[in-house]
Amino acid sequence: MSDLVRVHCEIPLLWKSKLERLAAERKIAPTDLMREAIACYLGEAIGPHTARLDTLEAEVAALRGAVQSLTRPIPTPPQVPIPFSLHSPLTDDEDEPDEVLYDFLEGEH
C-alpha cells in the first residue's frame, strides 16, 4: 500500500455511530477500521496488526486471571454444632412462651 488516496462516501448516521463504537472497542481510529473493512471485503491483507494483537493478548491475559480467580475452591466455613433442646416438645396443654393468652380477658376473644 505505497500510494494512498483519499476516498469519500456518505453513509447513514447509524453506521457512523456503529463504526465509532467498534473502533473505540478495538482502540483504533475509525478510519483504520474502515480501511480494514474495505481490505477484508477486497480480500487484501493490510500490514501487521501488532497494535491490535497486543491489545487482544492483554485482554486475554486479564480474562485468564479473572477465570482462574473464579475457579479457586471456596473455603468451607467451620462446622458449628446446632444446639438442641433437652426438653420434650410442648403438648397442647402447655403454653408456648410467646403465646398470647386470652382466657383471663373479659369480653370477646
- Residues 74 and 80 sit within 8 Å (Cβ to Cβ): no
pLDDT 10s digits, 15-38: 999 999 999 988 889 998 898 888
Residue 88: per-residue pLDDT: 58
**Reported confidence tier of residue 49, pLDDT bands at 50, 70, 90:** low
Residue 18: per-residue pLDDT: 95
Q: d(Cα 81, Cα 46) in Å, to the nearest integer?
A: 68
Average pLDDT over the chain reads 79
H or E element, residue 63: helix 50-71
Mean pLDDT of 56-84: 83
**Joined grid coordinates for residue 49:** 496488526
**Joined grid coordinates for residue 76:** 468451607
- Of all residues in the chain, what percent carry a pLDDT higher than 70? 74
